[in-house]
Structure 1
């Protein structure tokens, strides 16, 4: 594929995932949070099945790939998405996407402690910048520590980021047999089956009015936020280096803040902007240091699944 077309697709992915945050916030007006995640996952699973059939890439996972199907399906597509949706009830979409993208802050030290990866100076500085960005978000002058709902919501988003970090760490050590895209349908299927009983248990069976607005928002979240985005990511991964892909995905929180501003009228304050700059800069340092270090691996990447050759 042409490099410029691949870069265009990467920007499209970042926009799709950035727009997903205000879309999730809008859906909370009509659907309980866990049911949003289940319905979006169900739509995405069906869309991925269609894409796999159309591309003739539907395969049965090998036994060796079952752990990564379960880890991504449970840690990322289920736990991360569920905690984010719950947290969005109390936190603005723009702030939530910045909190979620603190993931590299947790991945870098965890990779050092658990996987024995070398903690280079740029990565250490990157983690420090990310932590400073986090402290800016929770500055007592800007954050209401007396608001229990706000503390609860922010905590849920940070827990979501930890689940995403755990998923990335396992992806890092997994020995791939089946190409990642072929496993995405099965990961989404696992998430859909797990999310249904969780939603029923915690939220009961809701009365949902599936008007045009709700249907379009769910279709966007499932079709573009899951199926199209994952297909495009696979295409991009085959065309440009993973470090460049990771850098491109740092556009997600930028698009997320911008889309939340436009769609939800969430005007970003100075603290959020400074925090986003620090956290993104920290992630960028970790990614770029990986590119210059042949002895380290892509564990800091927000999309760290390698694409083996078919």
Structure 2
């Protein structure tokens, strides 16, 4: 009875952590948008990920996690280029024109692109449920972009949305590259080093494109940098890696769909962004599609795990 109670308490605690992390990530989209009132998008990204990288190195030191072997550094650089630099340079520039809530939904279409790329580069099969899920997700993207194309007709908004979709594809490529070249390394180690390389690229890009542009430092702008750098970028990722070591990846993937939901909610409440029929219907289709595609994957993986467990000696 005690073991069962502890198990339930531990599971409940994990879900509280998941809810808290996704809540912070959703809220971070409001800060990302609001930060543009005080500095350029690339400048903000430099401060944010510079702060996040320093925090991650401190975490590595605290947990006594060393650096990876030099043979991995090239792959970590490429992963940092894709996952940190490309994704957030594209997203932050696009957010000059695209609402925060909508941006979060478009970026979290990443599982759709990851599934397509996994077929090409990892040899995974595109079964019927996964195909239906991906099709729904793509239709959802068309709803969001198409609504703005016909109802708003603002070329900057359309280009911004396409840039964020491109960022989601970069993120998907980073996931595939990680699976091929870096899967054997501790995830927190990968996250730290790739973030370091990505931050260096962002800083160089900032110097080239925004050097000399005005920066307003006050309590509000510093709060945005520290919160998104320390909590959203460093601490939440660290806790997230601990969580996914305790639950299956499919459940973790589905739970991240709370991020765009919170992103839309906070952006509407705090920034006054309008939730158009295109955004609502498109978001629902994307989230439903990812759940359908991931649920099937989860059931297959669960059966494989059960088989492996039944054949493995219990220690």
TM-score (norm 1): 0.89
Question: Hey, what does 1:44 align to over in structure 2?
Answer: 52
Question: Hey, what does 1:192 align to over in structure 2?
Answer: 199
TM-score (norm 2): 0.88
When residues 129 and 116 of structure 1 are mapped into structure 2, their CA distance, relative to the original with a 3 A threshold, is same
Q: Distance in 2 between matches of 1:141 and 1:267?
A: 12
When residues 139 and 151 of structure 1 are mapped into structure 2, their CA distance, relative to the original with a 3 A threshold, is closer
Q: Distance in 1 between matches of 2:43 and 2:113?
A: 28
Any idea what the Cα deviations from partners look like across 1:238-277, whole Å, max 9, x if unmatched?
2211111111111111011011112101131222111111
Question: Hey, what does 1:9 align to over in structure 2?
Answer: 17
- 1:71-220 mapped onto 2 (5 Å cutoff): 71-140=78-147, 143-144=150-151, 146-220=153-227
Any idea what the Cα deviations from partners look like across 1:110-133, whole Å, max 9, x if unmatched?
221232211111100001100111
**Structure with a larger share of its residues in helix:** 2
Q: Is the 8 A contact 2:148 2:158 kept in 1?
A: no
Q: Is the 8 A contact 1:142 1:271 kept in 2?
A: no
| 1:53 pairs with 2:66 | no
Question: Hey, what does 1:33 align to over in structure 2?
Answer: 41
Question: Hey, what does 2:308 align to over in structure 1?
Answer: none
Q: Report the more deviating stretch, 79-88 or 12-21.
A: 12-21
| Bigger radius of gyration | 2
Q: Distance in 1 between matches of 2:15 and 2:286?
A: 23
Q: Report the more deviating stretch, 61-70 or 165-174.
A: 61-70
Q: Give SS of 1:239's match.
A: coil
Q: Distance in 2 between matches of 1:64 and 1:242?
A: 27
Any idea what the Cα deviations from partners look like across 1:4-47, whole Å, max 9, x if unmatched?
21121111221121112111000001110111111100010111
- 1:158-307 mapped onto 2 (5 Å cutoff): 158-294=165-301
Q: Give SS of 2:273's match.
A: coil
Q: Is the 8 A contact 2:80 2:194 kept in 1?
A: yes
Query: How far does residue 54 in structure 1 lie from its aligned partner after superposition?
Result: 2.4
Q: Report the more deviating stretch, 134-143 or 79-88.
A: 134-143
Q: Is the 8 A contact 2:30 2:270 kept in 1?
A: yes
Query: How far does residue 205 in structure 1 lie from its aligned partner after superposition?
Result: 2.9
Contiguous gaps of at least 5 residues in structure 1? 298-310
Q: Distance in 2 between matches of 1:208 and 1:137?
A: 33
Q: Distance in 1 between matches of 2:148 and 2:61?
A: 53
Query: How far does residue 66 in structure 1 lie from its aligned partner after superposition?
Result: 2.5
When residues 228 and 184 of structure 1 are mapped into structure 2, their CA distance, relative to the original with a 3 A threshold, is same
Question: Hey, what does 1:305 align to over in structure 2?
Answer: none
Any idea what the Cα deviations from partners look like across 1:48-82, whole Å, max 9, x if unmatched?
1222222333x111234334422331101110011
Contiguous gaps of at least 5 residues in structure 2? 1-6, 305-315
Any idea what the Cα deviations from partners look like across 1:171-194, whole Å, max 9, x if unmatched?
222353331112322112111211
Q: Distance in 2 between matches of 1:258 and 1:295?
A: 33
Q: Distance in 2 between matches of 1:216 and 1:241?
A: 34
Q: Give SS of 1:91's match.
A: coil
Q: Distance in 2 between matches of 1:141 and 1:38?
A: 30
Q: Report the more deviating stretch, 151-160 or 22-31.
A: 151-160
Any idea what the Cα deviations from partners look like across 1:224-243, whole Å, max 9, x if unmatched?
11111111111101221111
Q: Give SS of 2:146's match.
A: coil
